[in-house]
Amino acid sequence: MFSIFSIAIAILPTFQKSNPNKTPLLKHLTNITDDYHLPSTVTPFWYDLTIRIYLPGTTFYGQVTSQIRISTPTNTIQISSDGLDVYYGFIIGANFVSKVIHFESKPSVRKVILHLDRQIASSDVRLTLYYRGFYSKDFKGLYVAQYNDQGKKKQAVLSFNSPIGARKMVPCFDEIAFKASWKVAVVHPAGTFARGNGPVSSKTLIESGKYYKTSFEPTKVMSSYLLAIGVGEMFAEATASGHSNSGILVNVFSKQTDSKRAKNMLPAYLRQLDYLERRFGVPLKVKKIDNVVFPEFLVQGMENEGLISFSEKVPSIEYAENAGLITHELVHQWIGNSATPKSWALTFLKEGIATFYEKEFAINPMTFANGMECDSWMNSHALLSEPRDLFELSWNFDDIVYQKGGAVFSMLRWLIGTPKFDFIMKQLILKFSDSTFDVADFVNLLDTHAHRSHIEPSLGTFFKTWISQPNFPILTVSAVSGGVIITAKPFYYIDGTFPSTFAKPTSFPEVRPIPLWYRFSNDPSTLQFAWMYSNETKFIPNRNIANYIFLNTDNYGFYRVHYDALLYRKMVLLIRNDYKIEPNFIDRLLVDSWPLVASGHLSIEYLVELLEAVRALPRQESTLIRTLHVLNSMMKEFAHLQEYDVVKEYVFNYFKRQPENKHINFPGGSALIQKYFHAADVKLHQHECLFGVEICAKEYENAFHSYLYPFCKDDQMLSDCHRVTGSLEVVICAAIQTNPALFDYFLQKYEIEEDYLTFYSIAAGFACTTEDIDRLFDLLTTPHRQPHIDPAHYSLLATAMTTKHPDQMQRLFLAKLTEPDVNAEFLIKTFSRAMLSMKADYGHLMQFSRNHARIYAKYRPAFDLAMEKSVFRSQFEHYVGNRIGFALKRVA
């Protein structure tokens, strides 16, 4: 069997034993024979690509010459190609020409094997290929977006090549480690305009004025996933332009309708670019950076060299207060584009660093809550994890890679201080500029430049243990005479007493050094530090007073803290008695408390006491947000239980009984959040508050669907929301609730306008019949329709539909998976999470996985997670469900 750690072993020989949690439930099902990597015996160093764009159209044509180095004599060459029709090719060597006599397609690994008419000796040669391609339907590779601009229908072509899209656009050596220079020319219809990675070097009218040929200056060496072109009217002239202090030309392209956003975005963009050039102390070696705010884009942003793309659906990209995403993509210009991780198993190196800097400019605090959430399940994975096939590669772009990655770098920063952290980043950029690096390289820099003799263990050991094992610690703190003792174990949502497949590890496979940041008082300047090991019981003496210990109050550590009953009650008492208590402390307690309750570590009564104590405090922006998160989580988790009504009652009344029933006061709060709250006119009234957090959630956690959930559940709540907010989405929801016949009306309306942006609300809102569900599911899984719907809204739809009719949706979804020509990757990505995890039936899923071994093998993580969540749900019902009434009665 193909080892999942083949590359990781080569990089880090000692890491092999870790990551037990990637083991599938049914091990024998995994049988992957073809290696998806290209051999390293043929490497590219120069490409010359001419690509011919038809618009409108369904196909494109290309001719590419790659200069390659052959280091082992061969008569075959493997090249990445996905869905391309490569029909002619030859190789020119020093004194020979060799023809490709057979193109052997390997669709499962997205390669073509070129069979040559002769053996080629080790040498540098030029490989020329002619091919035809098809605009992709899934927004990966080269695709066409349809959009409306000022009332007119338009089209534009854009590429999105990360991580393996380049091979859908051009047959190339599409490995992250193969860096080469790209010289690109685009032939495109007159009336359209083209942009690429490099500045435009020439533009000529050809073919009797019917086409333009636009050529770009060659790029510096870069990985193929950064290759980008954009073609269309919208690329004619920048909507906004400016220069960085260092003289880099920055352009923003957008629809005319979006020109105001683009103009507003520019100052923040230039500010961040200047800031990062100063902070890294390394100027960017580019003349220009084009940016496009694009109507159809799969992710929020993509850092393509010299042509960065943003989705126009990113809320508030134009607000200076929300520069997180811009910062993220700009950081990549140094880390990722210039200094590049050696393999996709190391995605977290570039994404973790970019996320770390992003968080400094994002409005959400550094709690890395989504990363923790994902990392709390048995099917979590280590940051350093080698995908076994191309399908698994997408897992290296989840919240664990981004957020936990960011958190590990954040911990490092707190350990060594900002100046040293920045210095190491600078060394990394300088040393690996236009090159690649791996974990050993980074650890080397750490040990060379940040070694502190009094810190044990070494930072390298700290870093390696945190990236090579899944999960994170829960620290249990108990009061003892003269101080506290702290113990650590992995934090999982399920407790292991359920089916044996989910036997939870009670300790970390490799002893992990845990950095402890703590204080004994409310005063942040008294912060102290100590290391503890995950297998150790740590005693921290506190001779002073009341045994207070504030652990991780400052959000430095990627772990949860579980105070014992005595300490927890003391904390709550402190909050109740001292209005000057630091908000950070309360917020962290709130962030940790709900997962502790849900996992059975903390009794719900304690959480209710905390909520009651917080309720009595003057309002703080951050505390309000955290409280609303907890309340929303409660509603979501109780939705399927009979206690839902009593929980809903409590949540609705929570703010009603507020002593200061006034506008929320935001001392020091961000202007952006204030804007949102005022826009939603939140007056501490029940629905408005929840709606307020729903809006904020877009900004805060990108976990919108979880906030939609309570709305789907409760019809009354939906229509109240509509009344209060006047939001279009809610209006539609409520309208359909009132008159189910309107479902057809909206369905038609949005279908005709090809504007599906608010489409999800239909599903959320309709009091739909089982028949409607059948139709909508059918509609959503019709392949030609998929590109027109924003993928983010697919999962919202799925969530909404599943909420209304979980059993039916599970049945439809599983049936769909068994169809032969199903677009599996699409389905699993957009539907599985919502559907398989919302209300999965363990027995049913297990049965299905046994009956359909091949399907199970393919969708294993989603199935495993669904089964685990189903176990979690019964555990939740047992631990929490039957106690909530008791807990709430006490505060009524």
Binders of Zn ion among 106-165, rule CB under 5 A?
Answer: none
Residue 469 structure tokens: 């094992």
Residue 810 CB, shortest distance to Zn ion, in Å, is 33
Residue the block writes with tokens 């004599």: 73
**Any idea of the CA torsion for 256, 260, 262, 264, to the nearest 10 degrees?**
170
Is 351 or 587 the residue whose CB approaches Zn ion more closely? 351
- Contact region with Zn ion (CB under 5 A), list: 226-234, 343-351, 479-487, 727-735: 343-351
Residue 207 CB, shortest distance to Zn ion, in Å, is 39
- Contact region with Zn ion (CB under 5 A), list: 347-355, 434-442, 694-702, 773-781: 347-355
- Contact region with Zn ion (CB under 5 A), list: 48-56, 346-354, 688-696, 875-883: 346-354
Is 163 or 557 the residue whose CB approaches Zn ion more closely? 163
Is 329 or 772 the residue whose CB approaches Zn ion more closely? 329
For residues 833 and 830, what is the distance between their CA atoms, to the nearest angstrom?
A: 7
For residues 772 and 29, what is the distance between their CA atoms, to the nearest angstrom?
A: 36
Is 230 or 341 the residue whose CB approaches Zn ion more closely? 341
Q: Return phi, psi of residue 148, to 5°.
A: -105, 135
CB distance 191 to 53 below 8 Å: no
Residue the block writes with tokens 């007056």: 683
Provide the sign of the torsion angle of the four alpha carbons 854, 857, 858, 863, taken in this order.
Answer: positive
Cβ count within 10 A of residue 200: 16
CB distance 270 to 196 below 8 Å: no
Query: Which are the contacts of 838, defined by CB distance < 8 A and separation ≥ 6?
Result: 799, 802, 803, 806, 809
Residue 145 CB, shortest distance to Zn ion, in Å, is 21
Is 224 or 875 the residue whose CB approaches Zn ion more closely? 224
Per-residue x/- track, 196-215, Zn ion (CB under 5 A): --------------------
Is 355 or 379 the residue whose CB approaches Zn ion more closely? 355
| Residue 416: closest CA among 456, 448, 459 | 459
Total of chain residues touching Zn ion, rule CB under 5 A = 2
Binders of Zn ion among 737-756, rule CB under 5 A?
Answer: none
For residues 679 and 684, what is the distance between their CA atoms, to the nearest angstrom?
A: 14
Per-residue x/- track, 164-193, Zn ion (CB under 5 A): ------------------------------
Residue 396 CB, shortest distance to Zn ion, in Å, is 12
Is 356 or 746 the residue whose CB approaches Zn ion more closely? 356
Residue 397 CB, shortest distance to Zn ion, in Å, is 9
- Contact region with Zn ion (CB under 5 A), list: 132-140, 354-362, 710-718, 726-734: 354-362
Residue 226 CB, shortest distance to Zn ion, in Å, is 12
Residue 401 structure tokens: 């890679």
Binders of Zn ion among 851-880, rule CB under 5 A?
Answer: none
**How many helices and strands (H and E) does the chain possess?**
33, 28
Is 144 or 354 the residue whose CB approaches Zn ion more closely? 354
48 exposure class (CB count in 10 Å sphere: 0-12, 13-18, 19+): middle
Is 305 or 688 the residue whose CB approaches Zn ion more closely? 305
Residue 707 structure tokens: 């906030």
CB-closest chain residue to Zn ion:
354
Residue 466 CB, shortest distance to Zn ion, in Å, is 20
Residue 532 CB, shortest distance to Zn ion, in Å, is 32
Residue 351 CB, shortest distance to Zn ion, in Å, is 5
| SS3 at position 773 | helix
For residues 571 and 567, what is the distance between their CA atoms, to the nearest angstrom?
A: 6
Is 224 or 379 the residue whose CB approaches Zn ion more closely? 224
For residues 540 and 543, what is the distance between their CA atoms, to the nearest angstrom?
A: 10
Residue 808 CB, shortest distance to Zn ion, in Å, is 37
Residue 327 CB, shortest distance to Zn ion, in Å, is 11
Residue 254 structure tokens: 């957008």
Is 357 or 677 the residue whose CB approaches Zn ion more closely? 357
Residue 359 CB, shortest distance to Zn ion, in Å, is 13
Is 79 or 354 the residue whose CB approaches Zn ion more closely? 354
Residue 303 structure tokens: 């850092």
- Contact region with Zn ion (CB under 5 A), list: 125-133, 345-353, 416-424, 659-667: 345-353
- Contact region with Zn ion (CB under 5 A), list: 50-58, 353-361, 441-449, 867-875: 353-361
CB distance 532 to 484 below 8 Å: no
Q: Return the bridge partners of 87, or none.
A: none
Residue 358 CB, shortest distance to Zn ion, in Å, is 8
Overall size of the chain counted in residues: 892
Query: Which are the contacts of 28, defined by CB distance < 8 A and separation ≥ 6?
Result: none
Which of 286, 307, 349, 354 contacts Zn ion by CB under 5 A? 354
Per-residue x/- track, 441-480, Zn ion (CB under 5 A): ----------------------------------------
| SS3 at position 80 | strand
Residue 159 CB, shortest distance to Zn ion, in Å, is 17
For residues 516 and 278, what is the distance between their CA atoms, to the nearest angstrom?
A: 32
- Contact region with Zn ion (CB under 5 A), list: 14-22, 349-357, 565-573, 736-744: 349-357
Is 227 or 415 the residue whose CB approaches Zn ion more closely? 227
Q: Return the bridge partners of 476, or none.
A: 487, 562
| Residue 837: closest CA among 803, 793, 812, 804 | 803
CB distance 857 to 24 below 8 Å: yes
Query: Which are the contacts of 87, defined by CB distance < 8 A and separation ≥ 6?
Result: 103, 130, 131, 132
- Contact region with Zn ion (CB under 5 A), list: 185-193, 254-262, 352-360, 419-427: 352-360
b or e along 565-574 (b: 16 or more beta carbons within 10 Å of the residue's beta carbon)? Answer: eebbebbbeb
Residue 328 CB, shortest distance to Zn ion, in Å, is 5
Phi-psi bin for 191: left (phi > 0), alpha (psi -120 to 50), beta? left
- Contact region with Zn ion (CB under 5 A), list: 169-177, 351-359, 516-524, 578-586: 351-359
| Residue 856: closest CA among 864, 31, 508, 606 | 864
Residue 274 CB, shortest distance to Zn ion, in Å, is 20
Is 351 or 701 the residue whose CB approaches Zn ion more closely? 351
Is 351 or 868 the residue whose CB approaches Zn ion more closely? 351
542 exposure class (CB count in 10 Å sphere: 0-12, 13-18, 19+): middle
CB distance 224 to 166 below 8 Å: yes
Residue 242 structure tokens: 């400016």
| SS3 at position 323 | coil
Binders of Zn ion among 15-34, rule CB under 5 A?
Answer: none
Any idea what DSSP says for residue 322? G
Residue 158 CB, shortest distance to Zn ion, in Å, is 18
The verdict on 331 binding Zn ion (CB under 5 A) reads no
For residues 795 and 891, what is the distance between their CA atoms, to the nearest angstrom?
A: 37
- Contact region with Zn ion (CB under 5 A), list: 146-154, 348-356, 431-439, 828-836: 348-356
Residue 595 CB, shortest distance to Zn ion, in Å, is 26
Is 251 or 333 the residue whose CB approaches Zn ion more closely? 333
- Contact region with Zn ion (CB under 5 A), list: 271-279, 344-352, 420-428, 850-858: 344-352
Is 383 or 736 the residue whose CB approaches Zn ion more closely? 383
Is 348 or 568 the residue whose CB approaches Zn ion more closely? 348
Residues of this chain that bind Zn ion (CB under 5 A): 351, 354
